[in-house]
């Protein structure tokens, strides 16, 4: 059972708002009657689990593995919200956790023990100023789901309008503060023996986790997040965001419109409802890429319990709904541009430039000699790319970087903790539904389309960097590579995408924003007041190859088919 009350003396913590690791540490150190028993429980529980995993983890007996999975679930559940959150993260990592354990760990998402219903009713009354039986036309006696931080009721407001009412667990801030202090202290103590060269970044990452948890339990902030997220996807028919009922929401209670869908966790369940898992994956991944590289604001907890499949299909993309907007984060414009640049440099195998990207992002010190880093990146990442973009995925990156961080001066900046979590969770979810899925095969075509469209100033600057070399000469090979990536795009009807992208490129070329592009093209085509016929011929050949009549006809047919389906 999830821990609830620990001691009445910790009520002093309730008044605090937000995460305060130093203050909480001092508070807990002068109250050993709270600290010592909890430390003993955590250490003995984890050591007991560790011993069992050590001796039985390699067993080929399926029954033994099933029992281990149940023991892992039971342990994390009993240790409480902080540890449940760790388990939720593991439940989306098929590269780290045995697949037969993943099914058990997914129960941590919304299949946990509920807290007492009378307490939930009391919290609703205290927070909203009225009894649930008065505020709602119909309110159930039991929750429909219980998660680590709260439980959800399916209630009716009026007519046939159903809502989800999420009520926070009692004493949650106090429980989180105590466990976060202990977790941080234990991690710092054992960090020297961990097989990772995380350095001082480990403490910062835990603090980032703590801050995000305290933002997640502020339901007023979650309501703001949901409405901001909804505005970003307002014109996207494939993405649904529930509507917040502000009059029935507060710091510990949030009410939103009910989402009637299927959780994105079981391929067979989706197929039974005639939903295409692959098209749903595309939607989830593309929306995730948009959040990171375009909007700069992203859902940091995209696990199966927070994403639902809906009926419908728009332009070969399935319809999904996001819920639970407690764990959100932003990424700066500078980081967005650098991340986009890193994707391009990675695919083009420009490892010198990729090393600079890592330095800008903070994965390498500004004083680091990059001449020794570029060959390392080429050795570790270049081989993973293979001959095709589609052979590469984020799992390959994280696996190889685990090796790099031990032997070389790489570290994880604290601000990237949630970004990495979001990307890894997104790919983990996709791999559960389709083990052959490659996230970069969707990410790079998206970047290529944005580059060729030049829809923002930063995209235009990056396009100029990509298609012109350091001497200002047009790089036909790179330009062709961008078009080829779009034509091979597995996330859409590729040939039908070429014409809109080409149209956007032409529009950019003749617009005011395209003055720098026109200037560079003229400079590369005219050298020493003479027409550079070689580059001109290569450019004409490229246009003929990419936009040959057979491609155009096929693209038009695909566009017509999409409009009639």
Structure-token match 């491609």, residue found: 551
Residue 114 is classified by DSSP as P
Could you give the CA distance from residue 156 to residue 137 in angstroms, rounded to a whole number? 6
- DSSP label of 111: B
Q: Which one of the listed residues 301, 329, 335, 535 is annotated catalytic?
A: 301
Residue 45 three-state SS: helix
Judge contact between 363 and 414, C-beta under 8 A.
no
Residue 20 to residue 306: CA distance in whole angstroms: 28
Least Cα distance to 277 among 293, 256, 262 occurs for 262
Could you give the CA distance from residue 316 to residue 499 in angstroms, rounded to a whole number? 17
User: 478 near 437, Cβ under 8 Å?
Assistant: no
Kindly report the number of other CB atoms within 10 A of residue 57's CB atom.
Answer: 13
The CA–CA distances, whole Å, from 551 to 71, 446, 560, 565 equal: 56, 20, 14, 21
Q: Is 301 a catalytic residue?
A: yes
**Nearest to 69, CA basis, from 17, 38, 43, 104:** 104
CA dist 122 → 16, 127, 551 (Å): 22, 8, 65
Determine contact, residues 278/309, Cβ cutoff 8 Å. Answer: no
Kindly report the backbone phi and psi dihedral angles of residue 310, in degrees, each rounded to the nearest multiple of 5, phi listed first: -120, 165
What is the Cα–Cα distance from 484 to 274, expressed in whole angstroms?
A: 32
Positions marked catalytic: 301
């Amino acid at each position: 059972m999830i821990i609830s009350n620990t001691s009445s003396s910790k009520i002093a913590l309730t008044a605090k708002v937000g995460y305060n690791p130093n203050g909480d540490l001092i508070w807990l150190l002068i109250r050993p009657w709270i600290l010592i028993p909890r430390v003993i429980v955590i250490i003995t529980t984890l050591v007991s689990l560790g011993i069992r995993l050590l001796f039985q983890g390699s067993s080929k007996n399926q029954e033994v593995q099933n029992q281990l999975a149940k023991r892992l679930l039971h342990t994390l559940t009993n240790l409480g919200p902080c540890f449940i959150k760790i388990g939720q993260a593991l439940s989306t990592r098929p590269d780290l956790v045995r697949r037969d354990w993943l099914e058990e760990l997914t129960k941590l998402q919304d299949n946990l023990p509920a807290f007492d219903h009378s307490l939930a009713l009391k919290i609703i009354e205290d927070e909203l100023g009225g009894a649930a039986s008065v505020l709602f036309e119909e309110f159930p006696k039991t929750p429909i789901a219980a998660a680590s931080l709260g439980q959800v009721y399916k209630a009716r407001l009026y007519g046939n309008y159903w809502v989800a009412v999420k009520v926070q667990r009692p004493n949650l801030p106090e429980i989180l503060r105590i466990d976060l202090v202990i977790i941080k202290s234990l991690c710092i103590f054992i960090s020297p023996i961990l097989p990772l060269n995380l350095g001082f970044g480990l403490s910062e990452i835990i603090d980032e986790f703590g801050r995000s948890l305290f933002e997640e339990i502020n339901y007023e902030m979650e309501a703001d997040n949901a409405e901001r997220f909804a505005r970003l996807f307002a014109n996207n028919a494939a993405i649904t965001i529930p509507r917040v009922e502000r009059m029935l929401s507060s710091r510990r209670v949030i009410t939103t419109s009910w989402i009637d869908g299927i959780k994105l966790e079981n391929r067979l369940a989706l197929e039974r409802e005639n939903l295409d898992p692959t098209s749903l994956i595309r939607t989830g991944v593309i929306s995730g890429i948009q959040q990171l590289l375009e909007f700069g604001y992203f859902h940091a907890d995209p696990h199966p319990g927070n994403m639902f499949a809906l009926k419908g299909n728009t332009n070969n993309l399935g319809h999904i709904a996001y819920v639970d907007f407690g764990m959100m984060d932003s990424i700066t414009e500078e980081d967005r541009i650098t991340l986009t640049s890193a994707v391009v440099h990675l695919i083009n195998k420009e490892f010198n430039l990729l090393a600079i990207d890592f330095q800008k992002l903070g994965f390498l010190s500004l004083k680091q000699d990059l001449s020794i880093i570029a060959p390392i990146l080429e050795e570790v990442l270049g081989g993973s790319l293979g001959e095709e973009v589609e052979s590469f995925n984020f799992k390959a990156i994280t696996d190889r970087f685990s090796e790099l961080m031990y032997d070389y001066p790489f570290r994880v900046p604290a601000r990237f903790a949630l970004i990495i979590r979001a990307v890894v969770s997104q790919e983990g979810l996709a791999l559960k539904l389709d083990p052959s899925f490659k996230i970069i095969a969707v990410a790079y075509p998206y970047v290529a389309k944005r580059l060729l469209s030049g829809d923002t100033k930063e995209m235009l600057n990056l396009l100029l960097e990509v298609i012109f070399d350091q001497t200002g000469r047009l790089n036909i090979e790179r330009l062709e590579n961008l078009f080829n990536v779009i034509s091979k795009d597995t996330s859409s009807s590729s040939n039908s995408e070429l014409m809109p992208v080409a149209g956007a490129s032409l529009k950019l070329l003749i617009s005011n924003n395209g003055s720098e592009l026109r200037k560079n093209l003229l400079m590369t085509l005219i050298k020493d007041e003479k027409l550079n016929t070689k580059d001109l011929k290569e450019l004409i050949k490229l246009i003929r190859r990419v936009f040959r009549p057979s491609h155009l006809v096929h693209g038009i047919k695909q566009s017509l088919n999409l409009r009639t389906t």
